[in-house]
Homo-oligomer: A and B are copies of this chain.
Amino acid sequence: VNKSSTRWQEWFPILEWTRTYNRKTLSNDAIAAAIVTLMLIPQSLAYALLAGLPAHIGLYASIAPLVIYTVFGSSRVLAVGPVAVVSLMTAAALGKLAPIDSPLYWQYAITLAFLSGTMLLAMGFLRLGFLANFLSHSVVSGFISASAILIAASQLQGLIGIAADGQNLIEILVNIGHQFDRLHPLSLAIGLSTTIFLLWSRAQLKRLLLSLRVAAKIVDITVRVAPVFAIVITTSLAWLLDWEAQGVKLVGSIPQGLIPLTQPTWNWSIWQALAGPALLLSIIGFVESVSVGQTLAAKRKQQVNPNQELVALGASNVGASLTGGFPVTGGFARSAVNFEAGAQTPVAGLMTAFGVLLVAWFFTPLIYFLPKTVLAATIIAAVLSLVDLKYIRATWQFAKPDGFAAGLTLLVTLLLGVEIGLVAGVFASLALVMLHTSKPHIAQVGLVPGTQHFRNIDRHQVITDPQVLSLRIDQSLYFANARVFEAYITQALIEQPLVKEVVLQCSAINDIDFTALESLMVIDERLEQAGVILHLSEVKGFVMDRLAPTPFIKNLRGQVFLSHYAAITTLTADVSKAESSLNQDRA
């Protein structure tokens, strides 16, 4: 394998796995594809409705993107297509710009997919995948839980047969309340029983099948495709019992035939309005997709390349926008089923796309009788498992800032909507990190007896010398905390008037900036006036590279010691002319 072919493989992972493709891989992929197609058809219809689009747009979004991901994707098993959270964000982005279900709304959905795809591609080419790391798990978790609650609440409309709408929990619930008198009892009965069946199937069917000694893998897949059974049965009943005449809303007739060729709106003001939402949606879609991909890849010791995933998801979304679709990404549920069903390569995705295409061409009349309330039920059952309040509690128990970021994201998303919620979460988590580093922990350290190791005098029984102040600052020194350290030293010298030498153990100083350098110079000057000498120990190479050419080091009256132990043994000898003065003054 020469260098140039490795490079081609990096951009087109398809070149790698096709070399070892054989009949066994093919049959594995085919089985997985069949199961995923069964799952994808009702999900794609449901998520299109969730996004505010006609149901069949979901099918359009489930063909081209999967084909394109096959070529560019670095995950072997990721199932790309419409997903719940991104569909919700699509609805949030478009709701202000056009009436739901209108041709203009669809046009803007296409434009949103195009912008999101272009942004993802650009980030991929610029190798900006690392930016996703700035979303902490706590924020993502709070956001996903809140989105799932919002989705479930918004789907109550379909479930009870009325039209509710809104960007946040309060708006949705108020809208439902206002229309509660228009509730349709039969729709509610169908939707509710489907929801109960689905929740039961997840909780109990699994246990039942396992007790019947069905293989665990088959049980998992059966439970995942349970919605398909529900849909087949309710669609048949709708046809047999003529539910449409009784007022149950059905999916109805769907345009049959080839997928359309479309293009985004070339309107600058629409692009401006959609740019922010497209960016947020791209990032969430990317983070969700990569984390699913990495989790599954790790189980088979494979790798997922985040920057390549940006390219693949970007191209998939551009593909969606050219074929009448709306924003897509890699979804958790279908990817997991694809993996468990034994998919080996992205060919499974290609076959899934072909299956959806067949349905869109020939079988749309079968979907006519599918009740919308059943689609709402499948969404509710699907997203409720995404609500993970235990996780948020765990983050709070581990560290208050994490819990705060997760809780804030959850609340703001619920109360003010997905876009504000996500932005608030990201800024809060970054601000908390900044605030923490701006108030550094500073420990006075002493020698652990029998070792050459120094620890905090407040936590360990250690040996100290009243004339040598040993300090360890537990933070990189930079502008936000330089002043704090200045104030600490000033105060410490007032409290410990015997001190003649200060040694700063720099083992936790990973970085230093110009403001901090100036602060160190101020400190040295103040210490000089007080007749105290400043020394440094365990300065890291990177920090020393910066400090060495500065007047601070050149004019430093003290020394820079390799280890803190060397500093203390030297200085204690200097001060008291005898190591015996090291007395254990804390019992």
Partner of A514, one of B137, B436, B511, B538: B137
Chain A residues close to B by CB (< 8 Å) = 130, 133-138, 298, 394-395, 397-399, 401-402, 429-430, 433-434, 436-441, 448, 451-453, 455-456, 459, 474-476, 478-484, 507-508, 510-515, 517-518, 522, 526, 538, 540-542, 546, 549-550, 562-563, 565-566
Task: Give CA–CA (A430, B399) in the complex, Å.
Answer: 23
Of the listed residues A483, A514, A566, the one surrounded by the most CB atoms of chain B closer than 10 A to its CB is A514
* A138 touching B441, Cβ below 8 Å: no
* B452 touching A451, Cβ below 8 Å: yes
Q: Which residues of B contact A438 (CB under 8 A)?
A: 130, 133-134
Q: Which residues of B contact A440 (CB under 8 A)?
A: 510
The smallest C-beta distance from A305 to any residue of chain B, in angstroms, reads 11
Q: A401-B513, A448-B562, A452-B565 are in contact. List 20 more A-B contacts (CB 8 A).
A: A133-B438, A133-B479, A133-B480, A134-B480, A394-B514, A399-B546, A402-B513, A402-B515, A429-B479, A433-B434, A437-B476, A437-B511, A441-B510, A448-B563, A453-B563, A453-B566, A474-B510, A507-B507, A508-B508, A508-B540
* B441 touching A430, Cβ below 8 Å: no
Task: Give CA–CA (A466, B28) in the complex, Å.
Answer: 42
**26 A/B residue pairs, CB under 8 Å, sorted by A:** A130-B483, A130-B484, A133-B481, A134-B438, A137-B479, A138-B515, A298-B522, A298-B526, A394-B514, A398-B514, A398-B517, A398-B546, A430-B434, A433-B480, A437-B476, A437-B511, A441-B542, A451-B452, A451-B563, A451-B565, A452-B453, A453-B538, A456-B541, A474-B540, A508-B508, A508-B510
Copies of this polypeptide in the complex? 2
* A434 touching B402, Cβ below 8 Å: no
* B433 touching A478, Cβ below 8 Å: yes
Q: Which residues of B contact A515 (CB under 8 A)?
A: 136-138, 402
* A436 touching B511, Cβ below 8 Å: yes
Partner of A133, one of B136, B399, B430, B482: B482
The smallest C-beta distance from A64 to any residue of chain B, in angstroms, reads 31
The smallest C-beta distance from A162 to any residue of chain B, in angstroms, reads 39
Task: Give CA–CA (A512, B476) in the complex, Å.
Answer: 14
Q: Which residues of B contact A512 (CB under 8 A)?
A: 399
The 5 closest A-B pairs by CB, nearest first: A136-B479, A453-B563, A452-B452, A137-B515, A402-B514
Q: Which residues of B contact A451 (CB under 8 A)?
A: 452, 562-563, 565-566
The smallest C-beta distance from A293 to any residue of chain B, in angstroms, reads 13
Q: Which residues of B contact A430 (CB under 8 A)?
A: 430, 434
Task: Give CA–CA (A508, B538) in the complex, Å.
Answer: 11
The smallest C-beta distance from A471 to any residue of chain B, in angstroms, reads 14
Task: Give CA–CA (A504, B500) in the complex, Å.
Answer: 35
Residue of B at shortest CB range from A483? B133
The smallest C-beta distance from A311 to any residue of chain B, in angstroms, reads 19
* A550 touching B134, Cβ below 8 Å: no
Residue of B at shortest CB range from A474? B510
Task: Give CA–CA (A440, B476) in the complex, Å.
Answer: 12
The smallest C-beta distance from A128 to any residue of chain B, in angstroms, reads 12
* A134 touching B459, Cβ below 8 Å: no
Task: Give CA–CA (A120, B583) in the complex, Å.
Answer: 50
Q: Which residues of B contact A549 (CB under 8 A)?
A: 397
